[in-house]
Structure 1
Amino acid sequence: MTQNWTTTNIPDQHGRLAVVTGANTGLGYETAKALAEHGASVILAVRDTEKGNQAAARMTGDVTVQALDLTSLDSIHAAAAALRNRTDRIDLLINNAGVMYTPKQTTHDGFEMQFGTNHLGHFALTGLLLDLMLPLPGSRVVTVSSTGHRIRAAIHFDDLQWERSYSRIAAYGQSKLANLMFTYELQRRLAPHGTTIALAAHPGISATELARNVPAPLRLPITWLAPLITQTPAMGALPTLRAATDPAALGGQYYGPGGRNQVIGHPRPVTSSPESYEADVQQRLWAISEDLTGVTFTGTGPS
C-alpha cells in the first residue's frame, strides 16, 4: 500500500470529467484544483456562481461552473438537466458540499437543513446523474462524510427532520452517518454492473469555513486547539482525492487520515462506526430517501 499518499500519486486524469459539489472553497476547492491540474475536465457545482467563477479563475486547466443549490430539489433537477445538456458522461461525481452545526432551519423543501443538504441533496443529485456514469468503467461516486458520524449519531426514523426537538450536533451526526450508509448501499447496488463504484472519505479535522456554525461555548477552546489538531484544506482533501483516483481503491472503501484517531495525516482506508454497516438500516434509509426526494436510481435494483 502506498505510504504518505499525496497529489503526486494522482494518475493522469485527461479524458475524465469530474463534477465536484461545493467546490468554490475549502475541501471542494482543493479537490477540484488537484483534479484539474492532473488533466481532468472539472465542473464546479456551486450555489454561488460568482464565487464559483472566482474559484475557477484561480485554477489551471479545463474548469467550468454549474449552479447547484443542494437545499432545493428544483435546483438539483435543473442542475442535473443542465449537466446532461453539457455532457453525455461523468467519470467522477464528488459529493463534497455540506453544512455543519447549523441553527434549526429547513431547506426549501422542508427538510432539516443538515440532513436535507448533506444527505438528501446528494442522494437526489447522484440518482439523477448515475446513468451518465454506469456505461463508464472506472467511474466513481465519492461522498464526503466526517468523523462526526460517530458523535451522538443514529438515523432517527421516528423524527428524521428533528421536528420534536433539535440538537445541531446530533443532526450533523445523523447526516454524516447517512452519507456512509448511502455509500455502502449504493455500492451493493452498483456491484453487479462492474463499472461504477461508490466510495466515501473524510478529511479528519481540517481548517475550513465549515466550522463557522460551531456553538458559542465551543468556539474559544477550538480556536486555542486548532493549530494543534487541524490540518490544511489541501491535506484534508487528500482522502477524497485518493478515493477518486487511486487505481487500487475498491468499491465500498472509506478513506481518511492515517494519523492517530484519523484526525490528521496522509490518507488510507479506514473503518467507520459499527452502526454505519447495518444493512437493514441502510436499506430503510434508502427507501425513505427515495420517497422524500422522489428520485429513484435508474439501472440499480434492491441490494
Structure 2
Amino acid sequence: MTGWTADEMPRLDGKTVVVTGANSGLGFEATRAFVAKGATVVMACRSVERGTNAAAEIRADAGGVDGALDVRECDLASLDSVASFAEGATDDYDAVDVLCNNAGVMAIPRRETVDGFETQLGVNHLGHFALTCRLFPLLAAADGIEDGGADEVGSEPAERSGSGDARVVTQSSGAHERGEMDFSDLNWEESYDKWGAYGRSKLANLLFAYELQRRIDATDDAVGVRSVACHPGYAATNLQMRTAEESGTPLAAAVMRVANSVFGQDAATGALPLLYAATADVNGGAYVEPDGVLNMRGSPTVGRSNDASYDLDDARRLWDYSAEATGVDLSL
C-alpha cells in the first residue's frame, strides 16, 4: 500500500489544469485539491450555473483558495461545444499542464448525443477524444508538472518521456472488464444493454489512453506529454444515484443508497487515483487504481487493466473510427 494522499501533491503555482465534470463528484474533489495547491483550474462543465455554484462552494469551504477557478461550458455530448471550449481555452491560455478527462455518464437508457452517437460512448469517449486532440497543442506547450509523491512505474507503459511532462489523465472504471469492442455496432443500434454500453465506453477510455501514449512515443521529436489512465474504485457519488433515477424504479434508488453507504468510499478518496496520475511519478501509459480488495477502495497505486485494454488492433481501429466520427485527429 502506498498510503498516498493529496497532501503529497507538489505545489502547482503557475500551472493550468482542465477538469471535465468539475462541478460534482470526483471532478469536484479533484478541482478542490488542485486549486488548494495553487493551480488555475479550468472547470469544464455542461452547466455553467452548476459549475459556478461548485466554484463558490470550494472558495467558501476553503475560506479562499490558493489558485484560481475558471468555469466554462463544455458539453461532451456536443462536438460543437467541445470545439468552442477548446477554441476559448486556446485564446486565453498559453499552455495546459494537465487535462483530466473525468466527466461521464453511467448505465443510462439508450439515447443519442446531438451528433448521433450512443450517449455513453459519445460522452465518455468520443467527447474526450475530440477535446484531447484539440487541446494537445496547449499540452505540448506546457512545462508540465514536477513529479510529486511516490516513485512508481506501470506494468505496461512505454518509456517515460522525462520529468515534468504535461499529463492527459483519462478516467476509466473497473467496469471496463465487462466491455467488448463490437466495431460492427459500436453505437448499439441493433441492440442495447446499458451496462454493456458503459463497460464498452470505459474500455474505450483505456484503449485511447494507451494508444495516445504509443503515438507520442512513436514521434521523432520529444513531445513532452504523458497519457495516463486511472479508475476510482467504488466511489459513492451522485453518478450512481443518477443511474438509479434513470431506471425509473424506486427500489433501485434504495438499493444504490445502501450499496454506496456499505461499499463506497467518499468522493475525495475516489479522486486520489486521478490526482496521483496527474502529479506523481508514473510512466506514460500507466494505470492507476486503488490498492484495496478487488481494487474497489484504498490508496492509489499503479496496477494493470484487463488484457482487452492492451489490444493493439482494437486500439488502432478505435482511434481511426474516433478521428473519422469526430472530424478531429492528432497530428504529432
TM-score between the two structures when normalised by the length of structure 1: 0.95
**In the alignment, residue 276 of structure 1 is paired with which amino acid?**
S
Corresponding residue of 2:270:
236
Match of 1:199 in 2: 228
Partner SS state of residue 55, structure 2: helix
The C-alpha deviation readout for 1:165-221, integer Å capped at 9, x for no partner, is 100000000000000000000011112425100001111011111112144475444
Deviation at 1:66, TM superposition (A): 1.0
Q: Residues of 1 paired with 2:2 and 2:115: CA distance? A: 44
C-alpha separation in 1, matches of 2:254 and 2:17: 38
2:183 paired with 1:157: yes
Kindly indicate whether the alpha-carbon contact (under 8 Å) linking 1:92 and 1:139 is maintained by their aligned counterparts in 2: yes
Contact 1:130 1:298 in 2 (8 A): no
Cα distance between partner residues in 1 of 2:183 and 2:259 = 35
Tell me which moved more, 34-43 or 53-62. 53-62
Q: 1:244-286 deviations in whole A, cap 9, x for unaligned?
A: 011x111001111110101011111111111001111101100
Cα distance in structure 1, aligned partners of 2:265 and 2:92:
36
How far off its partner does 1:8 sit? Answer: 0.8
- Name the counterpart of 1:213: 243
Alpha-carbon distance in 2 for matches of 1:108, 1:77: 14
Query: How far did residue 155 of structure 1 move?
Result: 1.0
Aligned residue for 2:119?
A: 113
| C-alpha distance in structure 2 between counterparts of 1:235 and 1:250, whole Å | 22
Unaligned runs of at least 5 residues, structure 1: none
In structure 1, how many angstroms separate the alpha carbons of the residues matched to 2:259 and 2:88?
A: 43
State TM-score, norm by structure 2.
0.87
The RMSD of aligned alpha carbons is 1.3
The Cα of 1:115 is off from its aligned counterpart by 0.1
**Which residue of 1 is the match for residue 154 of structure 2?**
none
1:141 aligns with 2:140: no
Aligned to 1:64: 70
When structure 1 is superposed on structure 2, of 191-200 and 156-165 the one drifting more is 191-200
Structure 1: how far apart are the matches of 2:278 and 2:270? Answer: 14
Aligned positions, number: 296
Equivalent AA in structure 2 for residue 17 of structure 1: T
The answer to whether the aligner puts 1:88 opposite 2:118 as a matched pair is no
Counterpart contact for 1:208–1:233, Cα < 8 Å: yes
Matched, 1:258 2:291: yes
Match of 1:224 among 258, 273, 278: 258
Counterparts of 1:207 and 1:226, CA distance in 2: 5
Mapped contact 2:94–2:141 kept (Cα < 8 A) = no
Question: SS of the residue aligned with 2:212?
Answer: helix
Q: 1:29 to 1:255 in 2, by over 3 A?
A: same
Letter in 2 for 1:243: A
Q: CA deviation at 1:298?
A: 2.4
Q: Which amino acid aligns with 1:170?
A: G
SS in 2 for 1:268: strand
Which residue of 1 is the match for residue 21 of structure 2? Answer: 22
C-alpha separation in 2, matches of 1:271 and 1:232 = 23
